[in-house]
Copies of this chain bind each other. A is one copy, B any other.
Amino acid sequence: MRRAFYIGRFQPYHNGHHAVLTEIAKAADEIVIGVGSAQLSHELQNPFTAGERVLMITRSLRGLGVPVYVIPIEDLRRNSLWAAHVRSMTPPFQIVHSANPLVTRLFAEAGMAVHSDAMYERDRHSGTEIRRRMLEGEAWEPLVPTPVVEVLNEIDGVGRLRQIARSD
């Protein structure tokens, strides 16, 4: 049994995440997905709740072929404890896949195997771009899997983001 770990904030889940997970699935028996900053929502950078993000991810990965565990991870704001915190909330995993230098460092200092591939960079920046398009009324739907569009429509995700944006 080879279980891989991958983490993001998924605000929202998008094609970049999906490409990375499809790649990870080729070499893993099961995948554990951490939904970071789980306690945050209704913010410009973090509009969606952990539960909404769990739904987006699970529905998008229905056809992945390997079992996934989608686990909300609340922030501790203590980097030294973060790797232990993640491991306490998740089924045991043997390898971490990440292009994020802080994630990579924290798991490596905790003695975990880390696989860091430039390909994983694809999960960066798209979230910011998608939220910008939502705010400015541009087409964001092409950047996410279809089930994410469905979930966001059900919860009025774009409406929430636009209303919050008027707070600043």
* Interface check A66, CB cutoff 8 A: no
CB distance from A12 to the nearest CB of B (A): 14
Number of A residues with CB within 8 Å of any CB on chain B: 49
Q: Is the CB of B104 within 8 A of A163?
A: yes
- From B41, B51, B102, contact of A164 by CB (8 A): B102
Q: Is the CB of B51 within 8 A of A90?
A: yes
- From B41, B69, B76, B155, contact of A70 by CB (8 A): B69
Q: Is the CB of A81 within 8 A of B79?
A: no
CA distance A55 to B90 in the complex (A): 8
CB distance from A33 to the nearest CB of B (A): 12
* Chain B proximity mask over A55-80: 1 for CB below 8 Å, otherwise 0: 10010000000010111101011111
CB distance from A36 to the nearest CB of B (A): 13
* Interface check A106, CB cutoff 8 A: yes
* Interface check A105, CB cutoff 8 A: yes
Known contacts A41-B88, A42-B106, A51-B90; decide if A166 and B78 are in contact (CB<8 Å).
no
Known contacts A41-B79, A42-B79, A42-B106; decide if A90 and B164 are in contact (CB<8 Å).
no
* Interface check A111, CB cutoff 8 A: yes
CA distance A163 to B55 in the complex (A): 33
Query: In chain B, what residue has the closest Cβ to A44?
Result: B102
Which chain A residues have a beta carbon within 8 Å of chain B's beta carbons? 38-43, 49-52, 54-55, 58, 67, 69-72, 74, 76-81, 83-85, 87-92, 100-102, 104-106, 110-111, 155, 160, 163-167
